[in-house]
Amino acid sequence: MKQWVPSLAWLYRKPGRRKRRAFKASPPVILSGGFACLILLGTLLLKIPGATEQPITWLESLFTATSAVTVTGLVVVDTGATYSVFGLTVLAVLIQAGGLGFMTFAVLAAMSLGGHVGLQHQLMAKEAMHQTSLANIGRTAKAVVSLALTVEAVAVVGLTLTWWGDKGFVDALSEAVFYAISAFNSAGFVLSPNGLVDYASSIPVNLIVSILFVIGGLGFSVITNIAEKRRWHDFSVYTRAILIATLIINVLSVAIIWLLEMNNPATFANLSIGDQAMAAWFQATTPRSAGFNTVDTGAMTEASAVFTLLLMLIGGGSMSTAGGIKLGTFIVLLVATYAFLRRREHVTLLNRTVPQEIVMKALAVTLVTLTLMFLGIFILMILNPLPFIDITFEVLSASATVGLSRGITAEITAASQVILVFLMFAGRVGPLTLAYFLATPRKRHIRFPETDIQVG
């Protein structure tokens, strides 16, 4: 027998052979280490002279690699002007790997070698892909990659046909591939310093890009559940809840953004009614998932910026390319609050009882995320003499791995950029790590007497 690939040795266990040494690292450590190694590799590749048109610093390389792997989209240099074809290819690979998750690729690689995934690493993959059954991991991993490649391929065709006349076939195809990967993985990386502002009136570009990040933001479990069941009443409670919540939030967000920006000469005022509607749709749906923009984000009213903060905090579905506390967490918080206000003994959702453990998990994830964001805002306010709204927007965008910015990413201090690197990394793997610990509770055999604590 040939010796197995070293990079997959931690995942593969050959049948009939005893392990000589047990690997003691916990799944969260391995998951975080995998993303860290991917970021380090990306940093080194982007620092190669052939990867850039002009020299960049190590911090700029690290920041870009972290932003790509965590599918955030914040940048400190002009992506299109700074990176060569090789550099952009590296970015696209980092985005794809970070968006789909290295766990998916690791499981598929081990399976393709004919191996069996050990129980410990099955549990790790289960947490990474938010599956409730270990038997679904392999099927889910394959479905994730198949879905991504299929949707991206369709988008590449559409965008290539849209840009062919203006850019020529080769440039149109290369840009279409980059934008399809960036959009589906909710990365928000663009090749122009203006974002997608130049395409604010382009119906194909707006629809294709927004559909890509909306699908990516729903979550693979929702997509696969829809594909398998195909009937509303057969969908899982989670799938129905996510679809209903997504529809409600998107409709309300479009209306609110449109009303707040319709008279703003720097954003919507000079657009036609049809273009305003399209811009409102794009700007309302992008904060919960991607970091694209068809109007100048920094020129939007502060009211719109504050509302966008809420959308970034909520994020997309679990097991999706989006960030934030996740839409499922937000739904649980809402129904738990409603149950308390109505003095109901149990928390219910679509005629199903939500276990108390899930409610507590939602509270913990939200509190930890908010604490992380507060610390980031506090530190960046100390390091930078910039408006509070701009700093807050930048921190939430990094922590929720969204990528929208009011134009201060390259202006803040080097120490602040390091803080954002940490926030992007923590925003990507932090909730996953926390979910693992919360999903493996330790039962205590001692129960203490109850006490009364005043709340509210």
pLDDT-based confidence at residue 103 (cuts at 50, 70, 90) = low
The pLDDT confidence band at residue 1, using thresholds 50, 70 and 90, is very low
Phi, psi of 434 (to 5 degrees): -60, -40
Q: Quickly state the pLDDT bin for 387 (edges 50, 70, 90).
A: very high
What average pLDDT does this structure show over 149-178? 94
pLDDT on residue 243: 93
Q: CB of 219 within 8 A of CB of 318?
A: yes
Cα(134)–Cα(388) distance, integer angstroms: 45
HSE of 293 in the Cβ direction (CA atoms, 13 Å)? Answer: 24
Residue 365: pLDDT band by 50, 70, 90 thresholds? confident
Q: Is 225 left (phi over 0), alpha (psi -120 to 50) or beta?
A: alpha
Q: What is the mean pLDDT of residues 23-51?
A: 82
Does 422 or 141 have the greater pLDDT score? 422
pLDDT at position 22 over 70 = no
pLDDT of residue 405: 92
CB 437 within 8 A of CB 28: yes
Question: Residue 10's pLDDT is what?
Answer: 42
pLDDT-above-70 percentage for the chain:
80
The mean pLDDT value for 190-196 works out to: 88
Tens digit of pLDDT for each residue in 232-250?
A: 888 889 999 999 999 999 9
Q: Return the higher-pLDDT residue of 217 and 206.
A: 206
pLDDT value at 347 more than 60: yes
Complete DSSP assignment for 362-419: HHHHHHHHHHHHHHHHHHHHHH----HHHHHHHHHHHHTT----SS-TTTS-HHHHHH
Q: Of 71, 49, 67, whose CA–CA distance to 59 is shortest?
A: 67
Measured distance CA(250)–CA(253) in Å, rounded: 5
Q: Which residue has the tokens 């992380």?
A: 372
- Please, which pLDDT band fits residue 334 given cuts at 50, 70 and 90? very high
Q: Residue 442: its pLDDT value, please?
A: 59
| pLDDT tens profile 115-154 | 555 665 565 555 555 555 555 666 667 777 888 899 999 9
Q: Where are the domains of the chain?
A: 6-12+24-438
Residue 349 tokens read as 């959702």
pLDDT at 23 over 60: no
Contact 40, 63 (CB under 8 A): no
101 φ/ψ sector (left φ>0, alpha ψ -120 to 50, else beta)? left
Q: Please, are residues 320 and 312 in contact by the beta-carbon 8 Å criterion? A: no
